[in-house]
Amino acid sequence: MPRAISIILVFVLSLGASAQKGWQDVVYLKNGSIIRGMLIEQVPGVSLKIETADKSLFVYNMDEVAKITKEVIVREGLPNKGVPKGYEGMVQLGYGVQLEQYGADRAKLNIVNGYRFSPRFVAGLGLGLRQYIGPGRSTLLLPVFLHLRTNILNRRVSPYLSADIGTSFNASDDFTTEGLILNGGIGVSLRLGQRTALLIGAGYDLQRLRVFELQGSYYRAEYIERSVNSSAVSLNAGLSF
């Protein structure tokens, strides 16, 4: 009975202490290892059990333990080393404001299916929607592109750089090919969990578009098709998972 009471008491105290924001239990082993998490069971002079942030459980005999302390969790600058390789998706929304003569405001949606090669680098294939809004017209494009993104720092909060390159199909004109799409972005990645992150940033968007211009004199005028660069500066927000 005293042993059971001790176990329950340690468990309750551990829960209470761990509920305080920013604190964790730290077990220092005699072999030099350091285990951080929450003590969920301790039998005085016999053994202890600790649960780490990734829900792993470790049990140690007390003769393996050098000391047990409580320490403040340093939340800023936590490394991304827990981010596993493998599939990573992203959904991104944005809005661009036109630049130069042939620019056009545009609403953006990107859906990316990719692969995370390391905590810092992701590559994937993207599909999207672009609603271009210009004087007297509205054009819907469907871009297909290669998406590349890298975090500058191996941290929970990190600046990132991204690039998209591909082509677009005009859904407003029988899905004809418009031409090159090229986007460059910069922003901040805030990791929310092991696989999820909030991405907020800005970018430069360039789309090669076909336009028809009236050329010629008053007596002999005709529309000539040209391919021009339509560019914009955009604000973007996305979620990777």
Going by the DSSP 8-state scheme, the letter that residue 168 receives in this structure is E
Is the Cβ–Cβ distance between 238 and 91 less than 8 Å?
yes
In a domain, 91, yes or no: yes
How far apart are alpha carbons 214 and 138 in whole angstroms? 19
Confidence class for position 135, pLDDT limits 50, 70, 90: low
Reference 231, options 134, 138, 129, 89; nearest CA is 134
How far apart are alpha carbons 168 and 78 in whole angstroms? 39
Q: pLDDT tens-digit profile of 177-214?
A: 888 999 999 999 999 987 899 999 999 999 887 766 66
In a domain, 65, yes or no: yes
Look up the CATH number of the domain holding residue 15.
2.30.30.100
Is the Cβ–Cβ distance between 209 and 233 less than 8 Å?
no
Question: What domain range is 187 assigned to?
Answer: 86-240
In a domain, 122, yes or no: yes
- pTM, full prediction: 0.60
Given the structure tokens 């309750």, which residue do they identify?
12
- Return the pLDDT at 195: 83
- The yes-or-no verdict on residue 19 having pLDDT over 50 is no
Q: Are residues 108 and 200 in the same domain?
A: yes
Three-class DSSP category at 239: strand
- At residue 170's C-alpha, the angle toward residues 164 and 172, to 5°, is 140
User: What's the average model confidence in pLDDT over 150-178?
Assistant: 90
- Return the pLDDT at 178: 83
Least trusted range by pLDDT, from 16-20, 172-176, 190-194: 16-20
Average pLDDT, the chain: 83
In a domain, 107, yes or no: yes
Given the structure tokens 């649960």, which residue do they identify?
51
Look up the CATH number of the domain holding residue 168.
2.40.160.20
Q: pLDDT tens-digit profile of 73-108?
A: 765 444 445 567 899 999 999 999 988 777 678 899
How far apart are alpha carbons 85 and 119 in whole angstroms? 8
Structural domain count, the chain:
2
- Return the pLDDT at 82: 54
- Return the pLDDT at 55: 84
In a domain, 20, yes or no: yes
Runs of H (alpha helix) within the chain: 2-19
In a domain, 80, yes or no: no
Q: Are residues 92 and 180 in the same domain?
A: yes
User: What's the average model confidence in pLDDT over 17-35?
Assistant: 79
In a domain, 110, yes or no: yes
At 179, give phi and psi (nearest 5°). 135, -165
